[in-house]
Structure formats: C-alpha cells, structure tokens
Amino acid sequence: MEITPVNQINARPAMSSVSAGDPLQVIETAYRRIEAERDRNCWIHVRPIAETRDLCRAMMARAGAGEAFPLLGVLFGVKDNIDVAGMPTTAGCPSFSYMPARSARSVERLIAAGAICIGKTNLDQLATGLSGARSPYGACASVFDRAYVSGGSGRIPAGFNDIVGIKPTVGLVSSRGLVPNCPTLDCVSIFCNSVQDGAAILGVIEGFDAEDCYSRPAPASVSPGNAGPFRFGRLAAKDLEFFGMPECGVLYQQACDRFAGLGGIAVEIDFAPFAEAGQLMFAGPWVAERRAAISALMEVETGGLLDVTKAVLRPAADYSAMDAFTALHRLLRLRRQTQDILAGVDALVVPTAPRPFLLEDMNRDPVTLNNRLGHYSYSANLLDLCAVAIPNGVLPNGVPMGVTLLAPAWRDRALIALAARLEVRAAGTPFALISRARLAFASLVEA
C-alpha cells in the first residue's frame, strides 16, 4: 500500500514547497495537472475540487485559531486498496467496490496532522503485481516515457519515476483499513519527493495499533546510526541481473562509486539467500496466503477478476500445509543467513528494479516480466527488512533508474538518515543528471 503526497502529482513531490506556499494555490495547480493528464490513468477517484478547497479553508482557520498541524495543506493520494472514509475502495476491481465508513489508520493520522486526501490512485488489481499494467482502469506508464511501465507497488514506481519510496518495517505502520493481500507481509509505504519529506510522513503515520493484529511495537531502543564513515553492501558480479539491459548495470556501478566517494566502504555480499527468499513470494506457498486473503473477500474464479490476476492466484491450490511449513522453516534459515550478512554493513544497496520493460512487452508476457521487476525487491518483507529507494540516474532511453537501501527491521531511522546523505542534492540529481521540474505531493501505497 502506498501514500503519495500530491504536491508531487505525476512528478516528484516537495512537501517543503507546499508548506511554504499558499495551500489553496497548490490545490489549483494540482487539479489542473490531474485534469490535463487524465489519459495517464493515475487516478481511480478524485475528490471534487470545491470540497478540497472547503477542507483546506477549514483547516487553515483552525490553524489560525492556534491548532498545530505539522502537515498543514499537504495534499496526498492513497493507493485504492487503502480506505478513505467517503471515497470508494475498489482495489482495482470494480465488482469489489465498497464505501468505507472509516479511514485507514495511516490516513486518519495524516488528516489529523493537517494533510488533505484528494483521491485514490490506480493499482495492479488487488495489488497482485509490480508493473502498473494490471488494472481495469487502464495501465500506468512512467512519467518520463509512456511506452514503459510505471511500476505498480513497493519501491518499483519510485525507481522508474525518479522519486523516493520508503518501505517501513512490517508492522511499524498499522495496516488497519488496508484491503488484505498477503496479511503477514502487508506494509504501508510512502512515495514522495525527498527522503526528508518521507521521514516527516513516516513520523506521523508510524506507531503501534492495538486494533491491528499485525501491528508490532517498536523496540525500546534502536540505534539512530551515525554521520561518519559507513559500510554498504554491494552485489558481486555473479549476482548482477539486468535481463538483457546492461546499461542498467552501469548506473548501479556509478551509484556504488558515488557512495564510496561520500565516505562509504563497499563490502561485496552474497545475494543468493536474498534471491532465494524472494522466489518464495510467488513460487512458494505465500501465494496461498494471498489467495486465502482474497478468497475471504470475493470468489477468485467468478468475481470479475482479470485473467492475469486469476492466473497469478491459481497455483495457490497446489500447495499443502506441509509445503507451507517447509517453506517457513527454509525462510527462517534464510533470515538468519541474511541477518549475519547485514550485520557487517549499515545498508545493502541494490538496484530498485533490474530494468524497465515496455508496456507492450509486459502485456504480452505479464507474469514472467512482472516477476523480473521484483528480482531485487521481493525478499524485503519476507526477510523482515526496511527499505528506502532513492533516485540514481537516467538510462539512454530516458527512463530513470533508482537504487534501494535495505537494512534489518527497526533500523528505519538509521536507514533514512543514511539515504538522506546519499540522495539527490539541490543542485540536481546524482551523477550530474538534469532534474525535471516538479510539483509538490505525497502518496500512501502498499508494499
């Protein structure tokens, strides 16, 4: 699930620019851009602009009377498998649509902080994909080239659209009000323009929720990290996989060189246990958890799902309880292996995705290519990791590629602090790439 601040619509957000300007003017600009790019299929539902203006004026009046709102006037969009009271939730399936009486806890907290939800964003149906192409509301493309996929969940859209994605530790942010996908792994994530913005949003929405049985209390004491030299894991040559687009590897090498130049000490790690854990997501019994969660809501075969969604869920019937426990035991061993590897570094740096794919190719082979997008990301929740995706560089075809920093559970703040040292600077993107003009905005998503 994702939350996206909208002062970033179809572009990279900057919440600071929102709070510094006129919130009502930001609303006008945001809605102009939404209307101008309806054909991009970004939105499933948009709040009427008059209603948004009224909400903003009411919030500004309360602020003028002395109430404190840390996110006053920040607009945000919510992936449409997250409940917002008064807006339909479809999860990308029109026949499933319902009107929630209550907002998700993460949304409630943002609204209480002065932010304004302006709508629900498109998604791969029932959050079963990473491409952004599996929606009856239309496919979404990269904002830089309409021929390429946008990415559909987790950190993938951050990489292909030159923004920041923050995936917290599972359970740090309540999943109450999230349409369940894989409940033991579901995680509310953030898309935004900068690591600083994401940290501010996370500070508002995080926290234990007794109403959510999957919520986890954070440890009493967690290291905040340090501002000095750092060690980062990098992939060995044998573990690099870009599925026929070697230029993506050039950008990954540049990222590692840049981080070394900023005081980082590179440590080559074995990615094999991470990759093996990632395979369990769809080539293992966790697909059965996914089907069990969805079957509790609707009939998979006759409930109006897309053929590709049904194809993804169908293998669930092939797994037995014995298979599930065998895989769980294997996963616990892989977690121990990866914990030992990560103990020697402050973060593991991986490509956010191996490569971008053309929408045409994705539609022709939706399962294989979708799974390739998750080569470096599928393992994060299974291995109980937190992650921050940051912009990296631009391919010769004009599509951005990001890198993701991974760390063990509860190291969120230390990882965010490190990511802030490595992200885009005011002078432009890393590697002296030219930055595109953007409007400020934030978004909540599910990862």
Q: What tens digit of pLDDT does each residue of 77-97 get?
A: 999 999 999 999 999 999 999
pLDDT over threshold 60, residue 275 = yes
Burial class (CB in 10 A: 0-12, 13-18, 19+), 159: buried
The tokens of 290 are what? 């996914």
Looking at residues 18-43, what average pLDDT do you find?
A: 87
Whether pLDDT at 3 is above 80: no
Q: DSSP secondary-structure letter at 216?
A: -
Q: Which of the four pLDDT bands, split at 50, 70 and 90, describes residue 228?
A: confident
Q: What share of the chain is helix, strand, coil (3-state, %, to 5)?
A: 40, 20, 40
Neighbours of 202 (CB within 10 A): 22
Report yes or no: 406 and 380 within 8 Å, Cβ to Cβ: yes
pLDDT of residue 221: 80
d(C-alpha 170, C-alpha 189), whole Å = 10
Q: Model confidence at 226, in pLDDT bands (50, 70, 90)?
A: confident
pTM: 0.92
What is the rounded average pLDDT of the residues 221-242?
A: 90
Helix, strand, or coil (residue 420): helix
Summarised one tens digit per residue, pLDDT across range 244-266 is: 999 999 999 999 999 999 999 99
Domain that holds residue 306: 2-446
pLDDT, average across residues 364-369: 96
pLDDT at 182: 94
Percent of the chain with pLDDT over 70: 91
Look at residue 416 in the predicted model and tell me its pLDDT: 97
When pLDDT is cut at 50, 70 and 90, the band that residue 224 belongs to is confident
Overall domain count for the chain: 1
Contacts of 284 (CB under 8 A, 6+ apart): 319, 323, 327
- More confident call, 131 vs 434: 131
Region 2-23 average pLDDT: 50
**Contact (Cβ atoms closer than 8 angstroms) between residue 141 and residue 150:** yes
Return the bridge partners of 388, or none. Answer: 166, 405
Which residue, chain included where needed, has tokens 């490509």? 351
Half-sphere exposure in the Cβ direction for 109 (13 Å, CA):
21
Can you tell me the distance from the alpha carbon of 363 to that of 234, in angstroms, rounded to the nearest whole number?
32
pLDDT for 8 equals 45
Residue 103 CB neighbours (<10 A): 21
- Ramachandran angles phi, psi of 443, nearest 5°: -145, 145
Confidence of residue 154 (pLDDT cuts 50, 70, 90): confident
| Cβ-contact 107, 82 below 8 angstroms | yes
445, pLDDT greater than 80: no
84, 116 in Cβ contact below 8 A? no
C-alpha span between 127 and 297 (Å, rounded): 14
Confidence of residue 338 (pLDDT cuts 50, 70, 90): very high
Return the pLDDT at 2. 67
- Residue 249, C-beta contacts closer than 8 angstroms, at least 6 positions apart: 240, 242
pLDDT at position 313: 94
**pLDDT for 227:** 77
Residue-averaged pLDDT of the chain: 91
User: How crowded is residue 342: how many other Cβ atoms within 10 Å of its Cβ?
Assistant: 20
Minimum mean pLDDT range among 92-96, 253-257, 302-306, 435-439? 435-439
CB 255 within 8 Å of CB 349: yes
Q: Which helix (H) or strand (E) holds 75?
A: strand 75-79
**Predicted confidence (pLDDT) per residue in 390-404, tens digit:** 999 999 999 999 999
Q: How many CB atoms lie within 10 A of CB 50?
A: 8
Residue 54: the pLDDT is: 97
Question: Using an 8 Å Cβ cutoff, are 236 and 271 in contact?
Answer: yes
CA distance 265 to 234: 10
Q: What is the pLDDT of residue 425?
A: 52
Judged by DSSP in three states, 98 sits in: strand
The token pair that represents 199 in the structure block: 């940290």
Q: Rounded CA gap, 284 and 328, in Å?
A: 10
At residue 330, does pLDDT exceed 50? yes
Q: CATH number for the domain including 69?
A: 3.90.1300.10
443 pLDDT higher than 80: no
| pLDDT score of 414 | 96
Question: At which residue do the structure tokens 């890393």 appear?
Answer: 430
The pLDDT tens digits of the residues spanning 112-125 come to 999 999 999 999 99
Residue with tokens 């885009």: 424
